[in-house]
Structure 1
Amino acid sequence: MNNSLKILAVSLGALLACTAQAASVMEGSAAEAAPAAATAVAGPVEVDRIVAVVNTDIITEYELQQRVHTVAINLRRQNIALPAMEDLRRQVLERLISERTIMQRARQTGIRVDDQMVNASIEQIARQNNLTVDELRQHLLADGVTFDAFRSQIRDEITTQRLREREVDEKITILDSEIDAYLAEQAGFTGNDTTEYHVAHILLPVGSAEEEDSVRSAAESIATRARSGEDFTKLAASFSRSEDALTGGDLGWKTAQDLPGDFWTAISADKKTGNVYVVRSKHAFHVVKLEGERNGVEAKLAGGPVEQTHVRHILMFVSDITPEADVLRRLNDIKARIERGEADFATMARLNSVDASATRGGDLGWLQKGDAVPAFEEAMMRLQPGQVSEPVKTNYGYHLIQVVERRTDKEGNPERMRIAARQALRQKKLAEAAYDWQRTLRDEAYVEIRGDGLE
């Protein structure tokens, strides 16, 4: 469990992060989609055609145009200058090819996502945008996105998440020796001397030794353009092969320990805001830009002993299939069965919770003040160990909460420090492993781009 039940955003975890691009379609007006709509109805209508073959699947011109349209809207809303249309089409087509290989792998391994999960996820996205599902449908249509296409994208994102959890996430291992080394690196820092760096990058993979010189030359050329003042976000959207290419290659604010080691080696040699570096990693060249530098957030000051609560929960969503009355009835029935001794909380969580913690019996680990959203935290703090709450409503759905035990955590608790170190190391490993996994699926696939598919 992460530090926060704000992490229940992570319950749809990667899902809501992955669907941020889709959800952001809701933020604008129909006016932005009007030019595309006008173009679609003017003049002769060309019969749809195949632009790419991916193993046994195809990608059509209409599908490519629709995704380019959506991506263009999202880039404008992030104030990222649009790259040349041929570059944007190439990026989007590569993304579609990657998605096809992932969906094919999911079918081969028997992963299925039922309608109830898709409906619940859409309800969650609508709630987070203060909309009903019908209002969400209208916003999507105003931007030229059909609701069926949106549902399909959500289903694919959930499927991708489940497949990645099985083939990548579960295989990530963190050795105790790695945690020891990480904590040793942290030992020289105090709350006042931690610095964060705002970094963006462009990733250019090297597929073979023969590509080494050409890829290096391409990276140097892009770096020269960036140093001469060209918009780095536009260059990233045009050339980067990273998953964050269409958001400008922005890695956000990172400490030196959170940056890839190769990046930090280059940056630390000349830490000047605006600098652009060419970096060679194991599988790629990177063009890295140091966007800014700031004092990091000071370590949380200990104000004496901190009370922690070991807690479990069961989360259910309201949806078209399971309306609010049914959710409340089911949760109250589960609560009654647990209190009568007919079932234990962990088993009920595994069978009924839609949160990612369900596989752990709903176990959220040890929480302290500020780790949970207010409504959850207030209900949790009123419970005695072993007690189960009434259904509690938050922005994420309805919860049953059980307090397992409480303890007082002293400043600098070694267990908590090691958990935090393990989480940080896992995130760094996961990002690289996920990219390698997607790249392997892409390389193993038969891909044929038809004729002028990118023109």
Structure 2
Amino acid sequence: MASAPLTLAEELSETGEFIDGIAAIVNEGVVLTSQLESQLDTIRSNAATQGMQLPPEDVLKDQLLERLIMSEIQLQRADRIGLAISDEMLNRSIAGIAEQNGVAFEEMPRLLALDGLDYAEFRRSLRDEITISQLRRIEVGQSINVAEREVEQCIADLEGNVVANSEYLLSHILLSVPESASAAEIAETETLADEIYARAQDGADFRELAVRYSSGPTALEGGSLGWMQGQQVPTLFTDVLQDMGKGDVSQPIRAASSFHIVKVDDLRSAVQRSEVEQARVRHILVQPNELIDDATARQQLEDALERIRAGEEFGEIAKLLSDDPGTANLGGDLGWAGEGVYAPEFEENIAASEIGVVSEPFRTQFGWHILEVLERRVYDNTEDLKRQNCDVRIRNSKAEEESQLWMQRLRDEAFVEKRI
């Protein structure tokens, strides 16, 4: 989101009219009227396509302006801590979107133009989304700890649990309670949650209720959370979902600083077992530095390769030569791992290597490597996935509350002046 000086935001045209206006001043930046109107147009268009009734114009505009203000605050925070999304990372994200739509990366500008979207604006908006996501991961996610006993308890609780063995398409209404809320304010929010639930039970469109009342990140998208595996559903919702079917809406769920209402839009059975291909690999890493340039680092590995082919032990050379502090003393042994663990160039060489044959030197972002694939196997990682999914579930449950508190603190600390 752009942060523009006031003189630029209120630049006059030749006729003396404002080219753009300021919807809100946010610390040293602004939210422009054009940004607000553009997003309003998008929401109106999406609502019309989905046949969804929107709240009154003034309510919708205030909700959207608050979202834009929070985005601006978070982007300013990211800028202050030096968080930046590289073009490479952005292009990878766009390539993933292109793949999901069955088109080539190069076709994205044309595809977006057919929907009336500007490619440069799409890139800017996506970069902002990724920046905010990374910021939350850093400032919220890394502050969340999951104890081993919590994971073990989660696994025990999920054994035979219908939720854990299903996948859910959920929608969600979040009603936040300020950190310093009085008992009366909490009671008022609880009453509103009960009223929303009653309206949903009477047949009101859940999407419209979410747009009107929810303060969740997907509120203006009708509260949709998309598909998620049962083991990844926040623990806060697990007991409630146990007895819910397609189309059901939960009673308000109380959390420490919020109330939640969940709707099951759809559900399906989840896959029970999982197998992955793994390789056990050892490597030697030489990192260029102020004393060893790139060519010298490669030559050192060329020499090491010749020594190995002449009969010297790979592991002994790794102990003496490798710059990888985690594996050098292990003779370069990285242990078992599947796809997606290592750098792309590293994984390409694993895939291309025969067992017991040392690769030619190759470069990654970490330096120069040679590697040897020691073994390959098909590994049943179902139990590993259970642990990973429980870890994710617990973190997601904690993150919902932590994220709301973190955003509220950012909002409270920011200078905000709404101009509309």
**TM exceeding 0.5:** yes
Match for 2:258 among 255, 259, 284? 284
- 1:356 alignment counterpart: none
- 2:149 alignment counterpart: 177
Match for 1:50 among 22, 26, 31? 22
Give CA deviations for 1:8-39 in whole Å, capped at 9, x if unaligned: xxxxxxxxxxxxxxxxxxxxxxxxxxxxxxxx
Change in Cα spacing, 1:86 to 1:290, as seen in structure 2 (3 Å) is: same
Residue 415 of structure 1: CA displacement? 5.6
Give the distance between the partners of 2:105 and 2:227, measured in 1 at CA: 34
Q: How does 1:332-411 map to 2 (within 5 A)?
A: 341=304, 366-367=337-338, 380=351, 383-384=354-355, 387-388=358-359, 405-406=374-375, 408=377
Match for 2:402 among 405, 430, 433? 433
Residue 108 of structure 1: CA displacement? 1.8
Give CA deviations for 1:312-362 in whole Å, capped at 9, x if unaligned: 99xxxxxxxxxxxxxxxxxxx999985555996979xxxxxxxxxxxxx9x
1:105 aligns with 2:74: no
Give the distance between the partners of 2:385 and 2:97, measured in 1 at CA: 32
Change in Cα spacing, 1:274 to 1:424, as seen in structure 2 (3 Å) is: closer
- 2:185 alignment counterpart: 211
1:159 aligns with 2:117: no
Q: How does 1:40-79 map to 2 (within 5 A)?
A: 47-74=19-46, 79=50
Residue 59 of structure 1: CA displacement? 1.0
Residue 364 of structure 1: CA displacement? 11
Give the distance between the partners of 2:213 and 2:358, measured in 1 at CA: 55
Match for 2:54 among 55, 60, 83? 83
Please say if residues 338 and 345 of structure 1, whose CA atoms lie closer than 8 Å, have aligned partners that are also in contact. Answer: no
Give CA deviations for 1:221-244 in whole Å, capped at 9, x if unaligned: 222221121221222123211112
Residue 218 of structure 1: CA displacement? 2.1
Please say if residues 235 and 397 of structure 2, whose CA atoms lie closer than 8 Å, have aligned partners that are also in contact. Answer: no
Give CA deviations for 1:71-124 in whole Å, capped at 9, x if unaligned: 4445566x3625234444333222211111111111221223455554565566
* Bigger RCO (CA 8 Å, 6+ sep): 1
Q: TM-score, normalised by structure 2?
A: 0.67
Please say if residues 171 and 265 of structure 2, whose CA atoms lie closer than 8 Å, have aligned partners that are also in contact. Answer: yes
Please say if residues 193 and 295 of structure 1, whose CA atoms lie closer than 8 Å, have aligned partners that are also in contact. Answer: no
Query: Gapped runs of 5+ residues in structure 1?
Result: 1-43, 314-332, 348-360, 392-399
1:448 aligns with 2:420: no
Q: Match for 1:102: what amino acid?
A: Q
Q: TM-score, normalised by structure 1?
A: 0.62
Give the distance between the partners of 2:398 and 2:278, measured in 1 at CA: 29
Find the residue that maps to 2:256 and give its secondary structure: coil
Query: Gapped runs of 5+ residues in structure 2?
Result: 1-15, 284-295, 306-320, 326-331, 363-368
- 1:299 alignment counterpart: 273
Give CA deviations for 1:368-402 in whole Å, capped at 9, x if unaligned: 79xxx9xx7997275436755899xxxxxxxx996
Q: How does 1:313-328 map to 2 (within 5 A)?
A: none
Give CA deviations for 1:246-292 in whole Å, capped at 9, x if unaligned: 33223345666544444344444x53543332221111112222334
Give the length in aligned residue pairs: 359
